[in-house]
Amino acid sequence: MNRPSARVGAAALLVGLAPTSGLAQGFGVFEHGTCAMGRAGTGVAAPCGDGSAIFFNPAGLAAIDRLTLTGGLTLIQATGSFTDDLLAERTGLDNSPIPVPHVFAAYPLHDRVTAGLGLFVPYGLSTNWPADFDGRFNGYDNALQSIYIQPTVAFRPIDIIQIGGGLDVVIGSVKLTQRLDLSEFEAVPGITFGQLGVPFHTDFADATLETHGATGVTGNFGVIIAPHDRFSIGFRYLGKTTLEYEGDATFDPIATGIVLPPGNPLAAALGLDPAQSLPLDLVLNGADLFSPGAPLEDQTVHTRITMPDQIVVGFALRPAESFTLLFDYQRVNWSTFDVLSVDFENTLTPDREVIENYEDTDGFRFGVDIEVSPRWDVRAGYLWHEGAAPPQTVTPLLPEGTRNELTIGFGWRISDAFTTDVAYQYIRQDDRRGRVTEGPPGQAPTVDLNSGLYTFKGHLVGFTVTWRP
């Protein structure tokens, strides 16, 4: 029996890897300290004193005057849906709460020099859709984790200036799960199963990519200038880094249950009796498409993703001793992420380039921090941020867009040594039109493929404990 060709469908694997990387504001994470989270992430000009300055502005570490150990967790619950234009059917996200940790340690080496070490996850999260969702061929169970480990040093050359910086070692992993559509595969050279009558979006295989241990190096640098004890300005730059991913692509067959009627051209092409109906699964199993050396064999995959650089500037004003107003402007250079290349080990499986054309984004953050008593602080904030994905690249893997977010938080100084902080953040994202399918390989995506409306909301709860012995 001659083998059907698998070239077209195999190329579809990993078509959605780019969005799962978290390379968009929708899946960037900024909640790496519950004190700062309560005031909408503001802090580049006046970081919290819990060590989270290692992320928000390394220069702020210079203000820490004793050993400070901080650990915490932010739980992120994302909700959303896709409603298609044709049938108005709504499919909801199936995400579980996602824990995002942060750990910081700081120690003054001198009255003007402080060293620290931080661990945080600025790019990550996941998207999980039901396995019967139309967008499952783009990706339905996906996750990314990019852990930043940052040793940091800050110093104060003169009383009004603080300078700090750190080297970030980045460790990344990716998981992508998607279905392969039999209608896109070639039954014989030049003829797809779709042309033989196989319905569009016929599940044929479950494809999974998992990578671990991708590493990169970048840096985080900041400056704070305080010309007056009630006013300060700050600047922070987090550099970009490219992670080289290598992982395993695995393929598990799924029975179609399809029987082609008598007279179908595939039977003749395979040398079978054209007068007989043809069970398609029998043909596919006999083709050994998943065996070693075949296009859908388990194999190694290589790709690379650039984590973009960030620039944040802001100011802090204290009109009263116990009252601080904060403002930050954030720029994220997502335009560094324009094309994703995917390289398969098996030469029978075509490599793929995915065009994303992401756009740089601007964000504005406003926060307030009030000391209501010697033991209690109250915080609140608002932030607005653009989405990075242009209209033609809004997919199930990244249905993101412009966001409005509100925060509230509380700090409790339990004793001179222990402080605990809690915060809540609500995300309201603008609805966006998007797609659930990909265009032909090699062609740039277009809004003509958009076929429905994505909605997205999020609820975040953060908790941090700080110990200063």
CATH number, position 317: 2.40.160.60
CA distance 170 to 144: 13
Its domain, for residue 398, covers 7-467
CA distances from 131 to 1, 26, 139, 453 (A): 33, 22, 9, 19
- The verdict on residue 328 lying in a domain is yes
Query: Has this prediction a pTM greater than 0.95?
Result: no
- The verdict on residue 1 lying in a domain is no
- The verdict on residue 407 lying in a domain is yes
**Tens digits of residue pLDDT in 171-190:** 988 888 888 888 888 777 77
- The verdict on residue 222 lying in a domain is yes
- The verdict on residue 177 lying in a domain is yes
**Tens digits of residue pLDDT in 247-296:** 888 888 899 988 888 887 777 777 778 788 888 888 887 766 777 777 78
Which pLDDT score is estimated for 151?
97
Enumerate residues 6+ apart whose C-beta is below 8 A from 119.
101, 102, 103, 104, 147, 148, 149, 150
% of the chain at pLDDT higher than 90: 45
**Tens digits of residue pLDDT in 126-151:** 788 898 888 888 888 888 778 899 99
Which pLDDT score is estimated for 19?
37
**Tens digits of residue pLDDT in 312-347:** 999 999 999 899 999 999 999 888 877 767 777 776
- The verdict on residue 380 lying in a domain is yes
**Tens digits of residue pLDDT in 411-454:** 999 999 999 999 999 999 999 999 888 776 667 778 888 999 99
Give the 3-state secondary structure of 75-108. Answer: EEEEEEEEEECCCCCEEECCCCCEEEEEEEEEEE
The number of domains in the chain is 1
- The verdict on residue 2 lying in a domain is no
- The verdict on residue 315 lying in a domain is yes
pLDDT of 351 > 70? The answer is: no
Q: What is the mean pLDDT of the chain?
A: 86
Q: What is the mean pLDDT of residues 372-390?
A: 93
Which pLDDT score is estimated for 312?
97
